[in-house]
Amino acid sequence: MTRIVLDLTKTIDQNASEYFEKAKKARKKMKGAQEALEKSRQKLKKARKKSMKAEAAAEQITFQKPKPEWYEKFRWFISSEGFLVIGGRDATTNEMIIKKHTKSKDLVFHTDMSGSPFFVIQSDSLEGKSIGKPTIQQTADATCTFSKAFKLGLARQDVFYVKPDQVTKEAKAGEYLQKGAFMIKGKTTYVDNRINCAVGITEEGRIMAGPVEAVSKNCTSYVQIGQGDQKTSRVAKLIQKKIGGDLDDIIRAMPTGGCRIERSGSAKTLRPKKEKKSD
C-alpha cells in the first residue's frame, strides 16, 4: 500500500503540485531507463548478428575442402610405407581401376566373395621403393573391410593378390562376365587379414579411410571404427565432431553396414590396437 506524506505547512494544492512534479521526474527517469534498455537491446542484437557472421565465416574456412585428387572418386588410403592404394566402390569403379589405373608392377587384391571390391597398390606412387609387407597387409585388411564381410559381421575374408597380367576380361567359353567382374588366371597369394578400419583427416583436410596403421601414420586425427548396430550417418556425425571435415565425405569413406566407434584421438596419442593371437 502506497503512503502519501503531506506537508502540513503547505496547502492541499501545493502538496498536490509537489507530488505532480515528483511524478513527472519519475516518468522522465523511467522513460530514459526504457530508452537506455532498448538501446542496449539493439546493441546486443547487432553484436549477436556480428558474432554469428564471424562464426559462419570461421566455419567456412575450417571446412573448406581441398581440390579433389583423381583417386578420390575411389576408395583410397596411403599406406604406412607411403604407397597410394585405391579400391573400387562398385562395379563401375572396379572396372575403371583394373582397366585404367593398373600398371605392370602393381599388385591387385580381391576376395573369393562375389561383389567384393578390387584394391590396387600403386607401385609407382613411391619412387625408388618396392612394395613391402606392411602395405600388402594393410591392403589385404582394406579389401576385407570394404567387402560384404563388414556388413555381414564377419571378422575375416579369403583375400588374395595377383599381378595385373593375371586379371583378364576374357571369360571361359559359354560364360559372360558382368561389369566390374574379371577372371583371375594362375597362382594367387592369400594373405591373412581382419576387419581393420579408421577414418581420419589429413593435414590438407582430406578424409581418408583405411587400416588404422595407415590412417594413424598419415592423418592428424582419426577415429577407429568397428562393426556394430549404429547407423552410418549417426556415427559419421560423431566422427565429424572429433576430427572435423565434410560430413558427406566421411559417410562416403566409411564401410557399408552398421558400425560403432571403438577409439578416437590424435595420431600422436593413438596407436593401432594389437590383436591377441589365439593359441
pLDDT tens figures, 44-99: 888 887 777 666 555 544 567 889 999 999 999 999 999 999 999 999 999 999 99
Q: Identify the weakest region by mean pLDDT among 23-32, 113-122, 131-140, 218-227.
A: 23-32
Tell me which of 174, 195, 216 is where a domain ends.
195
pLDDT tens figures, 87-146: 999 999 999 999 999 999 999 999 999 888 999 999 999 988 999 999 999 999 999 999
Residue 201 lies in a domain: yes
Instruction: State phi, psi for 17 to the nearest 5 degrees.
Output: -65, -40
Q: How confident is the model at residue 180 (pLDDT cuts 50, 70, 90)?
A: low
Per the structure, the complete domain to which residue 262 belongs is given by: 196-266
Q: How many domains does the chain have?
A: 2
pLDDT tens figures, 234-263: 999 999 999 999 999 999 999 999 999 998
Tell me which of 148, 171, 195 is where a domain ends.
195
| Best CA proximity match to 207, nearest among 172, 159, 244 | 244
Tell me which of 154, 174, 195 is where a domain ends.
195
* DSSP states along 141-172: HHHHHTSHHHHHT-S---EEEE-GGGEE--PP
Shared domain check, 138 and 236 = no
Residue 88 lies in a domain: yes
Greater pLDDT, 147 or 43: 147
Q: Say what the pTM is.
A: 0.72
Q: Cell numbers for 241, please give them.
A: 565432431
Contact assessment for residue 270 and residue 225, using Cβ atoms and an 8 Å cutoff? no
